[in-house]
Amino acid sequence: MIVARAWAGRHYAVLGLARSGAATVRALLAGGAQVTAWDSDAAKRAAILPEPARGGGPAKPVEGQMRDGSASAPPPSLRDGPPPQAKLGEDLVVADLETVDLAGFDALVVSPGVPLNRHPLAAKARAAGVPIIGDIELFAQARADLPPHRVVGITGTNGKSTTTALVHHMLETAGIPTGMGGNIGLPILAQEPLPEGGVYVLELSSYQIDLTRSLDCDVAVLLNITPDHLDRYDGFAGYAASKARLFAMQAPDHCAIVGIGDAPSAEIARDLSRTRGATVVKIAPGVCMDQSRWPSLQGPHNAQNALAALNVAEALGVPGEAIDRALETFSGLPHRMERVATLGGVAWIDDSKATNPESTAPALAAFPRIHWIVGGRAKGDDLDACMPHIGHVVRAYTIGEAGARFAEVLRPHVPVAEAETLERAVKIAAQEAQRGEVVLLSPAAASFDQFRDYEHRGAAFRAAVEALA
């Protein structure tokens, strides 16, 4: 795992013990820190405890107690050196952080899902003067202890995951040691350090950037900014400012790559150009690229993603032949324009990750004749972002809570079947789609009305398609 010598002897509070939180606790302990951790889920609290404490043996803890019996004072100082295993009640304490005095902590480490603008613990930490950080900031602090390496940070409202995975694939294709983390893949602190010359490729949400103070990316990428997550920010301007902080942390001689297809991103690019000149690469919209040999990178949005990844790879010195080979062999990501089958000449595409109209629009632009499965729990009452490409839709099949509303919106423009369920939509589309056409699940809505998440919805789509065969 990745650890930092700077953590030794420090005391951290960790809120949230899912994958990244659990990895954070283990890395901090391995680095010689003391940790007070909490999660509202008792199973996650139990999973983070040392093995002897889980089975009911003599080491079983009393949650919330420190070694001296208090619930507020930091534990005594660490023994010398990193602990081979946390000493319960010394190095690791499980305690409800809302009952603990945070004043003695060096930082509060939270998951990106914690709403900093309204969570009471965030307000409590700020009042105590305690920094609020995330695992990406801890990675930034650990960089000095890692073999010489470079870091790529990629953000944007849409396209982050595909671009991150594509850059990672380009590096792998070129034989360059690389790791992928952040908002994708294995938590970054749980990964083994790369050898000298390696490249860490990080997908960074605005939430993760908010929790990061010192990540100087050798290459920083902003793909686009469209309205999203506005409940966490002081309007759209606040959300855009969060994205721009990725460049504020960056040394001015490091490479900045910015898509300029929307006004906020273009303004950020102009500001950077005024101060940094040639280190800024701008990606204009609508660049014509031959995508015919890139089966998993179809549509104008993927042309932009590919162009961003290509510029990153060139900035890192990846040979051109490796870039070309990677574009041809990239397999894409699950539930993001993923071809799950071709039956009778009809392609079946899973784009379940498209949970708003803005992310569905590029999928509609990617194919000339589409049978579109749309609906779920809507994030709004309109499909305006999709309308420029509605001419590609042969028929729409609406599902879920938003089905009736979306049918009303679409019916003046295209034939509509109110299928209600995904399984029924697949069966109807199978009867109507012709050779050369595409059946596209790109719901433009969240999944929580009928599914656990977008991955569950995508898996259900695949199962329904496989049942046809």
* Residue 226 counted as domain residue: yes
* Residue 38 counted as domain residue: yes
Q: In the chain, what is the straight-line distance between the N-terminal and C-terminal CA atoms, in Å?
A: 44
For residue 65, pLDDT beyond 50: no
Calpha distance 297→294 (Å, rounded) = 5
For residue 466, pLDDT beyond 80: yes
Interaxial angle between packed helices 135-142 and 19-30, expressed in degrees from 0 to 180 and rounded to the nearest 10: 30
Which amino acid, residue 336?
Answer: R
Tokens for 307?
A: 């162009």
Of these residues, 87, 119, 229, 282, which one is catalytic?
229
Domain containing 178 equals 143-329
Q: How far is CA 85 from CA 32, 47, 424, in A?
A: 10, 14, 53
Higher model confidence: residue 231 or residue 26? Answer: 26
Q: What pLDDT is attached to residue 282?
A: 95
Q: What pLDDT is attached to residue 469?
A: 81
Single residue among 78, 104, 133 that ends a domain in this structure: 133
For residue 459, pLDDT beyond 80: yes
Q: What pLDDT is attached to residue 53?
A: 52
Calpha distance 11→61 (Å, rounded) = 19
69: left (phi over 0), alpha (psi -120 to 50) or beta: left
* Residue 396 counted as domain residue: yes
Within this chain, do residues 313 and 372 fall inside the same structural domain, yes or no?
A: no
Which amino acid, residue 18?
Answer: A
457: left (phi over 0), alpha (psi -120 to 50) or beta: alpha
* Residue 342 counted as domain residue: yes
Within this chain, do residues 102 and 78 fall inside the same structural domain, yes or no?
A: yes
Q: Answer for the pair 422, 373: CB distance below 8 angstroms, yes or no.
A: yes
Calpha distance 179→445 (Å, rounded) = 32
Does the pTM of the predicted model rise above 0.75? yes
Q: Domain containing 35 — which CATH number?
A: 3.40.50.720
Within this chain, do residues 268 and 360 fall inside the same structural domain, yes or no?
A: no
* Residue 165 counted as domain residue: yes
* Residue 138 counted as domain residue: no
Q: Domain containing 359 — which CATH number?
A: 3.90.190.20
Q: What is the pLDDT of residues 237-268, one digit of tens each?
A: 899 999 999 999 999 999 999 999 999 999 99
Q: DSSP secondary-structure letter at 24? A: H
Q: How many CB atoms lie within 10 A of CB 122?
A: 18
Within this chain, do residues 37 and 118 fall inside the same structural domain, yes or no?
A: yes
Q: What pLDDT is attached to residue 74?
A: 36
Mean pLDDT score of the chain: 89
Q: What pLDDT is attached to residue 228?
A: 65
Q: What is the pLDDT of residues 366-380, one digit of tens each?
A: 999 999 999 999 988
pLDDT band at 226 (very low <50, low <70, confident <90, very high): confident
Q: How far is CA 442 from CA 180, 250, 358, 362, 399, in A?
A: 26, 36, 11, 10, 11
Q: Answer for the pair 189, 29: CB distance below 8 angstroms, yes or no.
A: no
Within this chain, do residues 185 and 103 fall inside the same structural domain, yes or no?
A: no
| Residue entry with tokens 């998440």 | 453
For residue 72, pLDDT beyond 50: no
Average pLDDT over every residue of 326-345: 92
Within this chain, do residues 20 and 123 fall inside the same structural domain, yes or no?
A: yes
Within this chain, do residues 187 and 251 fall inside the same structural domain, yes or no?
A: yes
> Strand, coil or helix: what is 161?
helix
The total of structural domains in the chain comes to: 3
Single residue among 103, 133, 163 that ends a domain in this structure: 133
Within this chain, do residues 392 and 286 fall inside the same structural domain, yes or no?
A: no
Lowest mean pLDDT among 110-124, 146-160, 206-220: 110-124
Q: How many CB atoms lie within 10 A of CB 1?
A: 16
For residue 63, pLDDT beyond 90: no
Which amino acid, residue 106?
Answer: D
* Residue 370 counted as domain residue: yes
Of these residues, 183, 302, 305, 311, which one is catalytic?
183
Of these residues, 11, 160, 168, 389, which one is catalytic?
160
Single residue among 304, 329, 354 that ends a domain in this structure: 329
Q: DSSP secondary-structure letter at 145? A: G
Within this chain, do residues 408 and 353 fall inside the same structural domain, yes or no?
A: yes
Within this chain, do residues 446 and 409 fall inside the same structural domain, yes or no?
A: yes
Q: Answer for the pair 227, 237: CB distance below 8 angstroms, yes or no.
A: no
Higher model confidence: residue 353 or residue 84? Answer: 353
Q: What pLDDT is attached to residue 61?
A: 37
Average pLDDT over every residue of 62-83: 34
Q: Is 302 a catalytic residue?
A: no
Higher model confidence: residue 351 or residue 65? Answer: 351
Q: What pLDDT is attached to residue 399?
A: 98
* Residue 439 counted as domain residue: yes
Calpha distance 244→265 (Å, rounded) = 9
Q: Answer for the pair 136, 191: CB distance below 8 angstroms, yes or no.
A: no
Tokens for 342?
A: 């071709």
Tell me whether strands 346-350 and 338-343 are parallel, antiparallel or unpaired.
antiparallel
For residue 84, pLDDT beyond 70: no
Q: DSSP secondary-structure letter at 52? A: G
Q: What pLDDT is attached to residue 83?
A: 35
Tell me whether strands 219-222 and 149-155 are parallel, antiparallel or unpaired.
parallel
Within this chain, do residues 178 and 211 fall inside the same structural domain, yes or no?
A: yes
Within this chain, do residues 304 and 183 fall inside the same structural domain, yes or no?
A: yes
Beta bridge partners of 109: 14, 133
Calpha distance 189→20 (Å, rounded) = 8
Q: Is 229 a catalytic residue?
A: yes
Q: How many CB atoms lie within 10 A of CB 404?
A: 13
Tokens for 300?
A: 């104008």
Q: What pLDDT is attached to residue 181?
A: 96
Higher model confidence: residue 348 or residue 81? Answer: 348
Calpha distance 12→37 (Å, rounded) = 8
Q: Answer for the pair 207, 219: CB distance below 8 angstroms, yes or no.
A: no
Lowest mean pLDDT among 40-54, 137-151, 386-400, 414-428: 40-54
pLDDT band at 288 (very low <50, low <70, confident <90, very high): confident
Q: Is 305 a catalytic residue?
A: no
